[in-house]
Amino acid sequence: MIDLKYLQKNYEETATKLIKKGVDSEILEALKQRFIELKEVNSTFEEAKANQNQMSKLFGQYKKDGKDIAELKVKVDANKELLSSLQESAREANEALNSLALGIPNFPDDRVPDGEDENDNVELKKVLKPTTFNFIPKEHWELSEINGWIDFGRGVKLAKSRFSVLRGDGARLERALINFFLDENRAKGFEEVAVPFINNASMLQGTGQLPKFEDDLFKIEDENLYLIPTAEVPLTNLYNDEILREKELPMLLTAYTPCFRKEAGSAGRDTRGMIRQHQFSKVEMVAISKPDDSERIFEMMVQNASDILTKLGLPHRIVELCGGDLGFSASHTIDLEVWLPGQNQYREISSISNTKEFQARRAKIRFKDSKKNTFVHTLNGSALAVGRTIVAIMENYQNEDGSVNIPEVLKRYM
RNA sequence: CGGGAGAUGUCAGAGCGGUUGAAUGUGCCAGUCUUGAAAACUGGUGAGGGUAAUUCCUCCGGGGGUUCGAAUCCCCCUCUCCCGGCCA
């Protein structure tokens, strides 16, 4: 949730920023108008309510003293009529504002480059040189036909398209990677957490998936519950509606979870292979920090994810997302893209975002800053997406016969 | 899934129709004392919103109702605990 008071006071500035993120200026104009309306309606309602409270007090006093209450009752009844209609319009104004405000994305950070989509993202640096082969490297689905690590057909049979089954060393590799990632994160100070894979609607609103992106989520029938699309949801919302102590911050959390996404908008993209699945494993980092610390922690998280890739010997590059490619809740995002020799391109394997106070405002996560309560900053990032790491290992560590070597650092996990 | 009890501030726990946003204890913050700490004592301490401000409005699990007035009465929902059933 953006700060509406700030929007009202600095309309031009915020409008410019949000347009960079693809928000229609008419919606912003409407939002500002609704906000002003709400304040008006509220103040007249509150005035009438104060009036009523005062008369009610008097009413009690009169009864106690045995005075006649008939005249007062007439006045109080009349005001009650007025009150209920005012309350109704205040409620409507509030709902109108809220439903609009919940659909507005976060402000991009000042340093975020302009741009429409992923083509305008800015490469910051490359780490490790792309792997070279003295044969033509295969894509991971071809390799899985040879080594039997991924069974796509039976995944589809069990569930539907975009599900798969890992078998043998493929399954063991997944388990090894999860353990490796968690250990690496723990070494950097992240607390390991095991969370529910199903969360309720209010948590998904807290991190920004609801109400706007309901179509991307798997909902449990007849329940107010959803399969989580990322561990960012349960980890960040661990402190939903709480006021933390200053000395508890920063909070660094990591969890392994499966992630469930409908991929509603991506029909036809990456239909082949394990790049885009409805269910995938991921180890996530989440940080909850004081505003002044978030930038430093953000850098640390990027470095950590990059270090993990380096330890695995996977060539990758670090990319700064442009305004148009930023996610709904993010103010600043850096993606890590791993080199896939079979596809001959870099593909996203981690995305690290600082949402500043956007999620904290929605989820009401605050800390006691000496006297007053202040919104925390929340950050999240993958370290790393497990399925895509398996793909990357298969393609980068492949031999000409289709067998795949195991990276040195994983040997103790398998 | 069936039967019973309950949901109040960090926590524990009063209040059961009228200056109660809420006693008391505890926790936390500050101070006194102390070489320092502990103990003891003193003071402060829920959240959100509106106003330039005194002040005002909202919140006692969530939603609705009764009433001039509700934490307190009624209805629905959710959750927790106890008993029984089922079951990793």
Average predicted confidence (pLDDT) for chain A: 91
- What is the CATH code of the structural domain delimited by A4-101? 1.10.287.40
Task: Report the distance separating Cα A47 and Cα A90, nearest Å.
Answer: 12
Is the CB atom of residue A73 positioned under 7 angstroms from any atom of strand B?
Answer: yes
3-state SS record for A367-412: EEECCEEEECEEEEEEEEEHHHHHHHHHHHCECCCCCECCCHHHHH
CA nearest to A91, candidates A81, A80, A83, A79:
A83
Task: Report the distance separating Cα A195 and Cα A284, nearest Å.
Answer: 12
* Mean pLDDT of the A386-403 span: 96
- Which of A281, A294, A351, A353 is catalytic? The answer is A351
Is the CB atom of residue A75 positioned under 7 angstroms from any atom of strand B?
Answer: no
Residue A400 predicted with pLDDT over 90 = yes
Residue A377 predicted with pLDDT over 90 = yes
Nearest nucleotide from residue A59 CA, by C1' atom: B68
Catalytic residue status for A276: yes
Binning chain A into helix, strand and coil, the percentages to the nearest 5 are: 45, 20, 30
Is the CB atom of residue A411 positioned under 7 angstroms from any atom of strand B?
Answer: no
ipTM of the complex: 0.87
Question: Where are the CATH 1.10.287.40 domain residues in chain A?
Answer: 4-101
Q: Name the fold adopted by A118-413.
A: BirA Bifunctional Protein; domain 2 (3.30.930)
Token pair 């790393």 in the structure block, residue:
A384
pLDDT in tens, A88-118: 888 888 888 888 888 899 999 999 999 988 8
* Mean pLDDT of the A165-178 span: 96
| Cis amide prior to A384 (ω within 30 degrees) | yes
* Mean pLDDT of the A44-57 span: 88
Catalytic residue status for A245: no
What is the per-residue pLDDT for A279? 96
CA nearest to A302, candidates A124, A153, A164:
A124
Residue A371 — very low, low, confident or very high, per pLDDT cuts 50/70/90? low
What is the per-residue pLDDT for A266? 79
Residue A143 — very low, low, confident or very high, per pLDDT cuts 50/70/90? very high
CA of A259 and C1' of B5: distance in angstroms? 39
pLDDT above 90: percentage of residues in chain A: 62
* Mean pLDDT of the A214-229 span: 90
Question: Where are the CATH 3.30.930.10 domain residues in chain A?
Answer: 118-413
* Mean pLDDT of the A244-252 span: 86
- Residue A322, both tokens: 């442009």
